[in-house]
Amino acid sequence: MNRAFLFLILGSLAVFASGTIDGEIVKQELNVSAIVMFIVFVSATLGITYWAAKRTKSAKDFYTAGGGITGFQNGMAIAGDYMSAASFLGISGLVYLKGYDGLIYSIGFLVGWPIILFLIAEPLRNLGKYTFADVASYRLRQTPIRTLAAAGSIATVILYLIAQMVGAGKLIQLLFGLDYEVAVILVGMLMILYVTFGGMLATTWVQIIKAFLLLSGATFMAISVMAHYDFSFNSLFSHAAEMRGIEVMSPGGLVSDPISAISLAIALMFGTAGLPHILMRFFTVGDAKEARKSVLYATGFIGYFYILTFIIGFGAIVMVYTNPEYLDVAKQAVSGGYPILGGKNMAAIHLSHAVGGDFFLGFISAVAFATILAVVSGLTLAGASAISHDLYASVFKKGKADGASEMKVSKMATVALGIIAIFMGIAFEQQNIAFVVGLAFAIAASANFPILMLSMYWRKLTTRGAVIGGSLGLATAVMLVILGPIVWVDILGNAEAIFPYKYPALFSVTVSFASIWFFSVTDNSDEAKAEQEMFDAQYVRAQTGIGAEGASEH
């Protein structure tokens, strides 16, 4: 195994080197300091993977790092999962473009966390083993519930992976001067290495290191911006308003009508509580106490990070906008105004150069790349667990698979997901992918979350209700996204959307809860009665932790 590992390291470095040494310049000149720092990051994380591989022996090690991660470490890793390149570059870019509206998004992403703590973290930790489907199927029929939960997980993971891979390819093309395909293949290969060899332990540490680097880099940027204005927010905002108008200081048109506002809020809150790669992290800690601490630290880091991105976005307004160094001259000639190179999502990257020169630009570029690597690794691990633990071990082998074969399947699933991600990344290069993350959140909120929530708290839930309701929720979410303005009008080119709202969650979550309720209360089968009777034992375990999975000893 170690030889294979070394071979893969050398192989992936060779791919990297061939793209850089030949210097196939695409859009940007070769960024030497970025590449050096990125190689340092990759070497360090591959070292961690090597260390983690030696400690990853059982299926429990592979899925949950043996359950021995501390609350602080896990909080950092959860924050890392959440602070993806999309949220770092996307939210600072949104603040750069729209000002205050960016803050509305950040707040929506954050407020799901307290709810997860109050209602989900503890019972999830006490009832589950490796995946959230363990909890959903605790007293319900394994085959249908696991199949549905796995479908929800895999759909969420693949949609998220597409967004990350396309973002990665474009970002790396811009920052490092590598070909799009080379960048996507490189990300896919490194991710396969981390996950297959190092499992959850490596994935968690890669995420922790990246979260630390990202928070440090963003802190430096925010402080540099504030130092320019003697740490006075009012003078920063005054300057920004002078350049872009007073509108940047107040809510704009991002959330216009009440239905969209509520629907977006529901998607962000409940979607977060249904993301498989986030839920999976609660099984990596020893007990409910550490699970709660994880959420506390994660909320703190994420909240702090969003305040930083807000300052960074305003910093970009005053230091990047109209700065000739970052101006896309070709685009300006066509459309006028002050377009920046690479579009609004590059605002934070340009700002890093404005405040810290080439060296710091290299650092932030490397961190952005590292962020993508870490997030796709966590996603892939969650997807692979759904395939191996839920589908293979529980559905296909009826719970009779041994740990070794389950682990083998999850490694094969990791490689398969990695290859799918690479192909999807390449296939979607020229596509409009604005809908994919929204769709991922809508599915998580409409299929995963209602089943999980009701299985933990509602005695009367039956297999029939969960399967029919969850499937309807999932189907409604997918259908409304297709019929909505982003896909139906912007992508398919129809004149008017059949479903007028961008965010379907208000409707699809309602459909899901209502039909779970209806098909459960009308279920009078003996099986349904038995499932309801098992609720007491489940609830006692959820509340007290008696019988919960502990940490493994080593």
Partner 1 sequence: MQKDIVEKIKANPDYQKLVKTRTGYAIKMSIAMLVVYFTFILTIAFNPSALAMPLSDGSVTTIGIPIGIVIIVFAFVLTALYTRRANTEFDDLANKIKKSVGEN
Chain residues in the site for partner 1 (CB under 8 A)? 100, 103-104, 106-108, 110-111, 113-115, 117-119, 122, 233-234, 237-238, 241, 246, 249-251, 255-258, 260-262, 264-265, 269, 288-289, 292-293, 295-296, 299-300, 303, 306-307, 310, 536-537, 540-541, 543-547
119 vs 475 by CB, closer to partner 1: 119
CB of 329 to partner 1, least distance (A): 31
80 vs 545 by CB, closer to partner 1: 545
CB of 547 to partner 1, least distance (A): 6
Residue that the structure tokens 């779970």 belong to: 516
CB of 249 to partner 1, least distance (A): 5
381 vs 456 by CB, closer to partner 1: 456
Q: Strand, coil or helix: what is 285?
A: strand
Residue 44 structure tokens: 């360090």
State which amino acid sits at residue 132: F
13 vs 119 by CB, closer to partner 1: 119
53 vs 248 by CB, closer to partner 1: 248
CB of 296 to partner 1, least distance (A): 5
17 vs 537 by CB, closer to partner 1: 537
| Cα distance between residue 150 and residue 152, in whole Å | 5
CB of 110 to partner 1, least distance (A): 5
| Cα distance between residue 480 and residue 484, in whole Å | 6
CB of 311 to partner 1, least distance (A): 11
Question: Going by C-beta distance under 8 Å and a sequence separation of 6 or more, which residues neighbour residue 127?
Answer: 134, 135, 138, 456, 538, 541, 542, 548
Compute CA 21 distance to the chain's CA centroid, rounded to the nearest angstrom: 32
Distance set, CA 354 to CA 175, 255, 448 (Å): 15, 31, 43
Neighbours of 545 (CB within 10 A): 18
CB of 59 to partner 1, least distance (A): 24
24 vs 536 by CB, closer to partner 1: 536
C-alpha closest to that of 321 among 98, 69, 74, 548: 98
Residue that the structure tokens 């297709």 belong to: 482
338 vs 457 by CB, closer to partner 1: 457
Neighbours of 402 (CB within 10 A): 11
477 with 499: CB under 8 angstroms? no
CB of 307 to partner 1, least distance (A): 6
Distance set, CA 433 to CA 105, 425, 427, 520 (Å): 18, 11, 11, 37
CB of 288 to partner 1, least distance (A): 8
Residue 150 structure tokens: 């796995």
106 vs 377 by CB, closer to partner 1: 106
| Cα distance between residue 349 and residue 27, in whole Å | 15
In residues, how long is the chain? 554
